[in-house]
Structure 1
Amino acid sequence: MSTARHLATMEQLCARPFPDQVPVRSTPEGSAGPGFHLALLESSDAPAGERPALLEEFAALREALAVVLEHRWGPAQHISLWSAFVRAEEARMAGTEEVVEEPWRSLSASVSDILLWRRGSRWIALGTAEREGEQPVRLLALVTAVDPP
C-alpha cells in the first residue's frame, strides 16, 4: 500500500475532465461517467476469517490518507451514505424513478460512509467498500461534480 501513489491518483482524478458518454465506462482500476471518476486505490481478497483485521487495515489506510488530504484541502466532512442506499433500494424495489443520482447511488451500495472534501467545483470522497461480504475489501476515491445526496 502506497500512500504517495494513492495521493497522486487522487490529484490526477481532480485534474482530469469528466467524460460525456453514457453508459458508465468501467475498467479494473475504476469507472468514469458523466460528472465523475471513481478509482480503486487498494483491494484485497482476504479469506473470511481475516476480514475483520483487513477492515481495520483499510480503515487505517483511509485515515492516513485523510490526514495528508486535510493538510492540503482542510478538514473533511464525515458523511454516512446509509440513507442514500436505503432510498435507492426502496426506489429500485418499487420500480419508481431513481431518487439518488450517480455516482452516489452506486457508491452507497458498497460504501457505508465517506470522508468528503470540496475543491473548487468538485467533490472528493474517500471510502472503504466493505458492505458486500463476499466481495474484496476496497479503498475507493471518488471525484465528482454531482452534489452528494
Structure 2
Amino acid sequence: MTTAEHLDTIDRLLAREFPAEPVRTGDGSGGPGFHLVPLSRTRDFWEDDGSGRPEAVEQISAEYGAVVQAVTDRWGEPQVFGLGTVLERAFEGEGIAEPWNELCDGTDHVHLWRVGERWLVVCVTQWHGEGPYLLTAGATVIDPP
C-alpha cells in the first residue's frame, strides 16, 4: 500500500465508531474506546533462518517513517511514548487498559497525535519474535497510562 492509502485508512479509523465489546478480526482489534489495525505487514519468520529479516525490517521501517512524516505534516509533531514501563507494570499485575496493554506486548514505543477527541497511534509491532512486523495504526479515547 502507498502512504496515501495508509492515510485514507487512518482517516476512516479516526471516524469509525468503537465496538461495544472487544473484537478481534483479521483486520485488527477493537473494543470500547479503541481500534487497532495493521496498515502493512512483512512475512512471518517462524520457519526462517533469519536471512530475510534485515530486508523486512528495512521495508517496514521505511513505511513507518513515511506514515509518521505524512501524519506529522497533517497534525503536527507527535509525542513519542515509551511503553517499557507500561509492560513492566502489566507484568507486575497492574490492569493496563486497552489498547495500551496490547500495544506494550508488541512494541516498546508509539508515536501519538491528538486529533480532536481521539489519540492517533502509529507504531511497528511484532509479537513472539517470529511473527511478522506490523505497521499498526490505532485510534482511541483512552489516555496513555
TM over 0.5: yes
1:88 aligns with 2:60: no
Deviations along 1:13-43, one digit per CA (max 9) or x if unpaired, are 101111122xx11111101100001111111
Any unmatched runs of 5+ in structure 2? none
Seq. identity, %: 38
8 Å CA contact 1:55, 1:130 repeated in 2: no
Aligned residues: 141
CA positional deviation for 1:50:
1.5
Runs of 4+ in 1 over 2 A off after TM superposition: none
Match of 1:30 in 2: 28
Match of 1:41 in 2: 39
Structure with the higher fraction of residues in helix conformation: 1
TM-score normalised by length of structure 1: 0.88
Match of 2:140 in 1: 144
1:120 aligns with 2:116: yes
CA positional deviation for 1:123:
0.4
TM-score normalised by length of structure 2: 0.91
One-letter amino acid of the counterpart of residue 69, structure 2: V
One-letter amino acid of the counterpart of residue 72, structure 1: R
CA positional deviation for 1:132:
2.5
